[in-house]
Structure formats: structure tokens, C-alpha cells
A = this chain, B = another copy of it.
Amino acid sequence: MGLTLEAIAKIAGVSRSTVSRVLNGGKGVKESTRLKVQGVIDSVNFQPNVAARGLAAGNTGIIGLVIPAGVSALFSDPYFPQLIQGISSVANAHDQSVMLWLAEPDYEERTIRKILYSGLLDGVIVSSMVIDDPTVQSLHESDIPFILIGRHPELEVNFVDVNNLSGGRAITSFLYRCGCRRIATITGPQNMVAGLDRFNGYCDALTVHGLPFSEDLVADGGFTEAGGYAAMKELLPMEPDGVFAASDIMAVGALRALGEAQLDVPADIALVGFDDAPVAARIKPSLTTMRQSTSRLGSKTLEILLDIIANPGHLPRQVIIEPELVIRKSCYAEEFRVEGG
């Protein structure tokens, strides 16, 4: 409500400046005064006005999280909540606030301008992924600290990403090692770096194992359950003996199609996903997948952003997290240890 620094100062019998010092670390204040002022602050539950502080100091303690329009359709995936949770947790610990922008096509332009020039944000996290996202371009041209979740194919920018390439390669190889020789893939959207990288990993693995690549064994599932289902239907006539779905959600859709086709997983056909979403462990059969800790991805990202804000001018910070193979029932071989029941 209405209390101001000045009011606290008056109550404590000191000057505005002294209260401000106490509020901001208390350096250069006699211990006895610090205690006295802090006592008043605590007793009246004083909370300094963020807007005023932002105006005067130039930083607000607010971080923007932008989910661009292109991916907002996927927003109900468990991915985003986990990401937000990871970010939010670090934000709380660092006394920062998170402002969320779900960009919609109609408002995208306004969104960008607001982020860049309104002076509200100390830094921005963009859950990018869509190639050629104009937001990223604008941000890159501005001088506001920002970081991407997901690498950028061209720009030299800060990012944290899962190694989707090696992950795609690893899990495709795993299908091979489980005996699959006709491996299909259900890809994510090819205008997202993650979709692209996972697909390239798949291609790499085929090459490594001397398997031929065939367009017929590739279908786009758009990172959605329904897309995975449709893609699997499409792949079925090709009679693959193993399928790499580039996300667990799509794998769930694929599994549904497989079930309808009376095919047993993994006996008739092996299936693997990516992400280790919560559903992966629950579904029957449980899903072999690449684990990426999305909440850690989020927390790591904010940590780096805060570091960028505190220590500007470094080279781009680029962190790549290796995903981890989780072997479950949908694809396994005797020689590997299977997780869970």
C-alpha cells in the first residue's frame, strides 16, 4: 500500500538514503542503525515500490519469458510447464520475477517492441525453436540481455540446448542394436531446430550402421499426439521394424495407431521416443526414450541469463546438455538393463 521509503526514514529517525542503503545490502551503515532501520522495515512490512526502483536504478528484477507464436500450439505439452517450473524456481531463489509472454500471431509485433523498449525487463528468455523467428532477430539487434532455449541455426547468440543431434543418433543406434534394420522416424516440425536436429541424428545413425535412407520411412508428426498417430498410419504400409518418434507425445500417438493395427510393441515393432515425458513411464508398454530434464534446462537457462546480466560483454554462452538413454519395454534387448517395472 502506501508506505514509502521516506515514511520509514521518518519512523526510524534517519534519512531516506540510509533506509535505501539498508534495503540494498546495508554496506556502509553502522550496525546499530542498520538494526534499527531493519526493525522498522520488518515491523511495518515495508516493500519498496518496484516501479520507482526500476526507474531510479535502471533494473527491475524482472525477466521476460517469451513463448513465440509458432510453438504456442504445443503449449499444453508437459514440456512448457516443466520449463516454467525450472525457471520459476531459480527466479524465486534469486528474487527475480518472471513475466510470461505467450506471443500470438496478431500481437507478435507489439510484443517484440514492448519487450525491447519498455525498459521493464532486465533480460529475456526465448523458448525459440522455430527457425527464422523474428523475435530472435530483433533481440539480437538490440542490446537487451537474452538467451535462447534451443540453439539458433545461424546467429551467434547465448543459448542452452539439449544435444538433439547426438540424442537422435544415440536412440536410433539403439534401435539398430536391438535388431531393427528397417527403421522409420516420425519427425518433429522441420522448421524447429529440435525437430531438425533429431532427424539429422537419425540420418547420421543410419549412415553409421550402413542402413539405407528412404524418404518413405520418414513422416512428419508435428510434435503432437494426433500428428504421431497420423504419421504412424502413414508409415505402416512400409513395414518398418523399428520407429523413432522424435518426441514421446508423438510416440504415444504412434502407439495408438500400432495398437489399432494389432501390432505388438516391441515384439512386432520397436518404438522409441524422445524427452522422457511423464507419460513415457506410464504407458503400456513403457517407452524407451532419451531423457532430458526440462526443468533443469529451464533453471540452467535462467542461471546463465542472470550471469549474463551481471557480467555482460562475454562471448556467447552456449551450453549443450547431453540427453540420456532410458531403456524401457517398448524397445530393449536382453543385454541392456531396463528401467522400471
Using a CB–CB distance below 8 Å, which chain A residues touch chain B? 1, 3, 45-52, 54-55, 60, 62, 65, 72, 75-78, 80-82, 84-85, 88-89, 92-93, 95, 97-102, 104, 106-107, 110-111, 113-114, 116-120, 142-143, 225-226, 253, 256, 259, 278, 282, 284
Distance between Cα atoms of A94 and B95 in the complex (Å): 28
Give the Cβ gap from A22 to chain B, nearest Cβ, in Å: 17
Which residues in B have their C-beta under 8 angstroms from that of A282? 225-226, 253, 256
In the complex, the answer to whether B117 meets A102 with C-beta atoms within 8 Å is no
Which residues in B have their C-beta under 8 angstroms from that of A47? 113-114, 116-119
In the complex, the answer to whether A107 meets B119 with C-beta atoms within 8 Å is no
Residue among B50, B97, B256, B278 making CB contact with A101, cutoff 8 Å: B97
Residue in B closest to A58 when the chains form the complex, CB atoms: B51
Distance between Cα atoms of A99 and B80 in the complex (Å): 16
In the complex, the answer to whether B45 meets A51 with C-beta atoms within 8 Å is no
Check A75/B85 contact, CB under 8 A, given A49-B55, A113-B47. yes
In the complex, the answer to whether B284 meets A259 with C-beta atoms within 8 Å is yes
Residue in B closest to A73 when the chains form the complex, CB atoms: B85
Which residues in B have their C-beta under 8 angstroms from that of A111? 92
